[in-house]
Structure 1
Amino acid sequence: MAMHYIPIFFLLFLSSFCKPDDQLTQAKPLTDRDILISKSGDFALGFFSPTSSNKSFYLGIWYHSLPGPRTVVWIANRDDPIINPSSMMLKVTNNSRMVLSDSKGRVIWMAASNIVTTGAAGAYAVLLNSGNFILRSSDNQDIWSSFDHPTDTLLPSMRFLVSYKAQVVARLVAWKGLDDPSSGDFSWRGDPKSPDLQLVTLYKSRVYCRILVLDGVSVSGRTSVTNTSSILYQTVVNSGDEFSFMFAASDNSPFTRLMLDYTGKMKILGWDNHSMSWTVIIERPNNDCDLYGSCGPFGYCDFTEAIPTCQCFDGFEPVDNSNSFKGCQRTQALNCQKQSHFTSFPGMKVPDMFLHIPNRSLDDCAAECINNCSCTAYAYASLSSGGAMADLSRCLVWSGELIDAKKRTVGENLYLRLANSGIRCSMPPFFLLTPSQL
């Protein structure tokens, strides 16, 4: 009788899937032959190689239930790949740590916590249905979480701690290339200048695109309808010491994720069951006009037009008439000895380089600018609908040039100071100021 042999690698492959498990214990480490699968079957954790050459291996989490190319949402050792896959091992130690090592005992990556627990001997790790990988003590106290250490992706219900006590905490760092998960040049984080008020994409250390500025809409929960059956809820919370960002999807929505790709685009993507692929819901920047400072000083990008273009505020004109938009200049210079007024520009994403003055009413905020001759603009937002705000107001003032303003269908009022001789009939003044008031 002829005998048929089954290749050993195929047996190993089958053994990995015969008894799916979502837990990693001290008695059962994870090797290159193993995989953890969440109870829902949506996510998996294991070792993978992003290219067909299989020269570099990583410990990561990906969507297990989706067809097509693997969509990775988290990586442990992105900047320290493993070359020999047979040497890989992830284990939970008896001192409540999770250690990734090779056959020589070299520690490649480690998850540890300062939390002191009484259940170190029975610590274990579990992959949740949310895609979060949790290290727990034997008394079920969470002591480490992959959601607290994102790489390039945010998942629904994942709290992204932007800043703590005005210091940047978490950040997303893009892959270096399409098939290279090592840390790239683009990062998404709280603005180093104002980490408790806005989120920016940086190219190295330079602002590439401002994504979000704290206002009443973002605090109360901005929604985006993706299709007839899916709604995204985007929420920003500033409780004084902490500034955090989170998004959630409506019940029974397809898979959704936010990621910073290697080209510097911040994208919210949704899975399309018809095309069996990811589709873009929101993308920033989505054109050159959306890049930081693209319209120059006192210019703004008008997104209410079919094709976003650079414009000048009323009372300003282009610096020159060349095809390259280099910003705008006043038609009438400001002079502290002459009257001036403030004109309201609605629907604006406010400019950068502001000064934040806390605990001010609208009238107080206006007075801060009116009584300061060097103040060129101000903006006020009520955050009272947020519920978790330490300061229910947000007063911003500017001196000098305005950089990176945007006009959108949903925005806020920007009050800009103009010389009286520059008043246009179509834009009545908001305040008239006399020299004595200055």
Structure 2
Amino acid sequence: MVVPVSIRRRLALFLLAFFSLKLCFGEDRITFSTPINDSETLLCKRGIFRFGFFTPVNSTTRLRYVGIWYDKIPIQTVIWVANKDTPVNDTSGVVSISEDGNLVVKDGRNRLLWSTNVTVQVAPNATWVQLMDSGNLMLQDNRNKGETLWESFKHPYNSFMPRMNLGTNGRTGENLKLTSWRSDQDPSTGNYTAGLAPFAFPELLIWKNKVPQWRSGPWNGQVFIGLPDMDSLLFLDGFNLNSDNQGTVSMSYANDSFMYHFNLDPDGAIYQRDWSTSMRSWRIGIRFPSTDCDAYGRCGPYGICHPRGNPPCKCVKGFVPRNETEWNGGNWSNGCVRRTPLRCERLRNGSSNGGGGGKGDVFLKLQKMKVPISAEQSLANEQACPNVCLDNCSCTAYAYDRGVGCMIWSGGLVDMQSFLGSGIDLNIRLAHSELKTHSKRAIMITAPVLGVALVAAVCVLLACRKLKKRPAEPPKDRSAEILFERMEALTSGNEAASNQVKLKELPLFEFQVLATSTDNFCLRNKLGQGGFGPVYKGKLPEGQEIAVKRLSRASGQGLEELMNEVVVISKLQHRNLVKLLGCCIEGEERLLVYEYMPKKSLDAYLFDPLKQKILDWKTRFNIMEGICRGLLYLHRDSRLKIIHRDLKASNILLDEYLNPKISDFGLARVFQANEDEANTRRVVGTYGYMSPEYAMEGLFSEKSDVFSLGVIFLEIISGRKNSHKEENNLNLLAYAWKLWNDGEAASLADPNVSDECFEKEIQKCVQIGLLCVQEVANDRPNVSTVIWMLSTENSNLPEPKQPAFIARRGASDAESSDQSSQKASVNDVSLTAVTGR
């Protein structure tokens, strides 16, 4: 019988449609005889989740991963990945049941890329894999009534799903934690993990490379007490936590909708997301960490973080900063130390009343607190809890929560935070003398005494002022006094400077002391030559090593620059800024005294063929990051808003660990709080690092410093000066731009650091450098954005526009630390002078 052509065509279309449906909607199982290839998928029965091969959205590669994702959501949302670190390079991959009964992923060459790795030997036809409606992928044994041999919920990745468990098993050592993707486009293993820590009171933690970044506070049976006001948002969704107090702890939650999950993102934050059908997007319910104070240990031991405080960190009453300089500079990580020893410490040291009055210790009650980490459990009730702490010499604090019981702490108290809403009372142990209060009688006696003293002080000041007005013989050398008068006048109109360090508190060194410390400025002690004079290494009588900048007498600008540097740098304290120790003004001598930096300047390493090998890629990246943090402090975080105006490799000094410190503030300008840009008719700086708007028009702002930063980035990456001519006589900026457009940005790297494993990071840093040197100032990022771009794993950064190619105008594009200053003029703009250094 001959079948008509029309019927054959209809039959073919039917079969094609049937198999197309199978490919699109799939089965929910894989068996030994029914593997799936790259174009096929599994679909769970309710059609919520799909399993198969995928490529991340916006990925620049064609790598194929095997994973589970939401099926009916238009935004690709992957909840689990199998071969996260071993992708298939093309579309030849296959997922199947292997001969030993495991689920495996292989490529077109039959190479094993991933396996469930079950050790129980089973026949291949006795196992199958099923995608459940919960999003759980399960490997089951048909011989034992569907016994589960392996499941994806027991091997979580970046998503915490309803009915999934996270936790640790004290007997087996199993630890189920979330792990972040490397970036939104790269599902390989990232830097962050999140999970439960089996402390005496279990807590949820986020780690970066095993270092804590955030913690939830202890679980009290209903909530984590370190999450403020989270009761109604998070824990009405059926959260449950179980612990056997022997290292086994697990956490899960129930939710009627599977369109809901928690996700650990590549930036190290956990987001709660639920799908909005009307908005056709994921809604973010909560996020933690949510404030800067949530950063683990931000204020160090015995420091409390206040989310709305300025500054956010404060020492507990009875404690003082461990390092006053660092603390005032915004580095609170070293925390605080006890001012008065506790009674036990005094008795141990043989002193019965050393500062404590011989009385017992007391407790300072702090309300609405996030308690410190590492609480220890006590069986005492609420009334007995304080005595348990007092009776233990090592106990430093206690707290009581009805759901937790009595908590006590030994040693330093780390990661405390003051909450505005919820929180519990934390009682910190202090020496009795720290809580002494003055009686009314003492106040009545003290107040008149202070009043009389104040009146007397005013009278003395008036008398001094009157005497000062009388004609008198001038002192032998008033250079220092005149200098400070001029400096005070320079800052008198600056509101931001009015409450700063008194300039006269800056130590004044005698010239002879500095001359002796440098062997009379011996040539062998010369560290380098700055724009306004040489710098020498010295050693003070007490043994401290110093660097002494001796302003050249031939420089007519020396006194002005010295004044400017003293005014600016005396008010700044930051780990990435060089510290000014004092100055010297005697006769015609003008000297500045700095902390000594043993590794000298960055250019001494970067452009030396031998020394540049010391700077591996990690060190160079850390230097770039450190320069950014110092510059951010100048622009945004210090009490003064400062534009450096002469940022370059020779002004970046390195300490013994090759950490960078910005130096040379002679050309810096202090901005008012509401001032974003300024104009000058006297352009000063270094060719090759100057932004075009500054070099040509005298306009300078944060963005002109950012331009200099971009040049330094490209120099650090390449190990070449901007003045160095590359192929076709291009300077470094033009050469980097050419390589970027040719898709070969990574080849800019110094051969000493060129490595495939760093290629992506190097390419990103080249991109950031080019973004910083764009011709239009408004196109350049600010420093805080640069820091974010350096720290993020997100590769979707803006495309740079053409850099500004500043031609040399009779001066060196870049200055090494052993070059002297040069001057040049610009003819096509009306400027008094342009000084290239």
Using structure 1 for the length normalisation, give the TM-score: 0.79
1:216-295 map, 5 Å: 216-218=221-223, 225=232, 231-241=236-246, 242-249=248-255, 251=256, 253=257, 255-295=259-299
Structure 1 SS opposite 2:195: strand
User: Which residue among 340, 343, 347 is the counterpart of 2:368?
Assistant: 347
The alignment covers a number of residue pairs equal to 399
Write the distance in 2 (CA, Å) between the matches of 1:291 and 1:406: 10
Q: Confirm or deny that 1:215 pairs with 2:220.
A: yes
Q: Confirm or deny that 1:103 pairs with 2:75.
A: no
Q: Confirm or deny that 1:146 pairs with 2:146.
A: no
User: Which residue among 93, 101, 107 is the counterpart of 2:98?
Assistant: 93
User: Residue type matched to 1:140 in 2?
Assistant: G
Alpha-carbon contact 2:31-2:125 (below 8 Å) kept: no
User: Residue type matched to 1:180 in 2?
Assistant: D
Structure 2 SS opposite 1:78: coil
Shift of residue 219, structure 1, vs aligned partner: 7.6
Shift of residue 53, structure 1, vs aligned partner: 4.4
> Which residue matches 1:202?
207
> Which residue matches 1:46?
52
Deviation readout 1:217-265 (Å, 9 max, x if unpaired): 33899975459xx95333222123421122233x4x5722111111111
Structure 1 SS opposite 2:293: helix
User: Residue type matched to 1:175 in 2?
Assistant: W
Write the distance in 2 (CA, Å) between the matches of 1:260 and 1:111: 23
Alpha-carbon contact 2:29-2:130 (below 8 Å) kept: yes
> Which residue matches 1:423?
435
Deviation readout 1:3-28 (Å, 9 max, x if unpaired): 9xxxxxx9999455455321111210
Higher strand residue share: 1
User: Residue type matched to 2:245 in 1?
Assistant: G
Structure 1 SS opposite 2:328: coil
> Which residue matches 1:302?
306
**Pair 77,181 (structure 1): closer, same or farther in 2 beyond 3 Å:** same
Deviation readout 1:245-299 (Å, 9 max, x if unpaired): 22233x4x57221111111112222222232212222212223221111122212
> Which residue matches 2:181?
175
Write the distance in 1 (CA, Å) between the matches of 2:18 and 2:364: 71
Higher helix residue share: 2
User: Residue type matched to 2:139 in 1?
Assistant: L
User: Which residue among 58, 64, 79 is the counterpart of 2:65?
Assistant: 58
Shift of residue 359, structure 1, vs aligned partner: 4.9
Structure 2 SS opposite 1:121: helix
User: Residue type matched to 1:29 in 2?
Assistant: P
Alpha-carbon contact 1:201-1:208 (below 8 Å) kept: yes
Q: Confirm or deny that 1:398 pairs with 2:409.
A: yes
Structure 2 SS opposite 1:213: coil
Q: Confirm or deny that 1:375 pairs with 2:426.
A: no
Deviation readout 1:132-186 (Å, 9 max, x if unpaired): 1111111211111100001111111111123434956122111111201111111
> Which residue matches 1:157?
163
**Pair 288,278 (structure 1): closer, same or farther in 2 beyond 3 Å:** same
> Which residue matches 2:74?
67
Write the distance in 1 (CA, Å) between the matches of 2:137 and 2:309: 43
Alpha-carbon contact 1:185-1:203 (below 8 Å) kept: yes
1:177-196 map, 5 Å: 177-191=183-197, 194=199
**Pair 212,83 (structure 1): closer, same or farther in 2 beyond 3 Å:** farther
Shift of residue 65, structure 1, vs aligned partner: 1.2
Alpha-carbon contact 1:219-1:237 (below 8 Å) kept: no
**Pair 357,165 (structure 1): closer, same or farther in 2 beyond 3 Å:** farther
> Which residue matches 1:132?
136
**Pair 79,282 (structure 1): closer, same or farther in 2 beyond 3 Å:** same
Write the distance in 1 (CA, Å) between the matches of 2:141 and 2:172: 31
CA RMSD of aligned residues (A): 3.5
Deviation readout 1:51-85 (Å, 9 max, x if unpaired): 454521100000111113x1111000101111021
Write the distance in 2 (CA, Å) between the matches of 1:93 and 1:416: 61
Of all paired residues, the percent bearing the same amino acid is: 29
> Which residue matches 1:413?
425
Deviates more, 1:32-41 or 1:16-25: 16-25
Shift of residue 412, structure 1, vs aligned partner: 2.9
Shift of residue 419, structure 1, vs aligned partner: 1.9
User: Residue type matched to 2:62 in 1?
Assistant: K
Structure 1 SS opposite 2:238: strand
Alpha-carbon contact 2:59-2:185 (below 8 Å) kept: no
Write the distance in 2 (CA, Å) between the matches of 1:156 and 1:308: 40
> Structure 1: which 5+ runs fail to align?
4-9, 384-392, 426-438
Write the distance in 1 (CA, Å) between the matches of 2:272 and 2:311: 21
Write the distance in 2 (CA, Å) between the matches of 1:308 and 1:36: 54
User: Residue type matched to 1:369 in 2?
Assistant: C
Structure 1 SS opposite 2:413: coil
Using structure 2 for the length normalisation, give the TM-score: 0.44
- Please say which structure displays the higher CA radius of gyration: 2
Shift of residue 370, structure 1, vs aligned partner: 1.5
Structure 2 SS opposite 1:67: coil
> Which residue matches 1:123?
127
Shift of residue 377, structure 1, vs aligned partner: 0.9
User: Which residue among 67, 70, 89 is the counterpart of 1:83?
Assistant: 89
Shift of residue 90, structure 1, vs aligned partner: 1.1
User: Residue type matched to 2:412 in 1?
Assistant: E
User: Residue type matched to 1:309 in 2?
Assistant: P
Write the distance in 2 (CA, Å) between the matches of 1:64 and 1:123: 25
Alpha-carbon contact 1:96-1:112 (below 8 Å) kept: no
**Pair 298,226 (structure 1): closer, same or farther in 2 beyond 3 Å:** closer
**Pair 239,283 (structure 1): closer, same or farther in 2 beyond 3 Å:** same
Write the distance in 2 (CA, Å) between the matches of 1:45 and 1:407: 45
Write the distance in 2 (CA, Å) between the matches of 1:363 and 1:315: 25
**Pair 93,417 (structure 1): closer, same or farther in 2 beyond 3 Å:** same
User: Residue type matched to 1:290 in 2?
Assistant: D
Q: Confirm or deny that 1:334 pairs with 2:345.
A: no
Alpha-carbon contact 1:168-1:190 (below 8 Å) kept: no
Structure 2 SS opposite 1:164: coil
Write the distance in 2 (CA, Å) between the matches of 1:145 and 1:207: 28
Deviation readout 1:88-135 (Å, 9 max, x if unpaired): 111123543111112322211111335677x86331111111111111
> Which residue matches 1:432?
none
User: Residue type matched to 1:200 in 2?
Assistant: L
Shift of residue 414, structure 1, vs aligned partner: 2.1
**Pair 290,424 (structure 1): closer, same or farther in 2 beyond 3 Å:** farther
Write the distance in 1 (CA, Å) between the matches of 2:231 and 2:126: 43
User: Residue type matched to 1:129 in 2?
Assistant: D
Structure 1 SS opposite 2:34: coil
**Pair 15,323 (structure 1): closer, same or farther in 2 beyond 3 Å:** same
Structure 2 SS opposite 1:99: strand
Q: Confirm or deny that 1:23 pairs with 2:26.
A: no
**Pair 225,367 (structure 1): closer, same or farther in 2 beyond 3 Å:** closer
Higher RCO structure, 1 or 2 (CA under 8 Å, sep 6+): 1
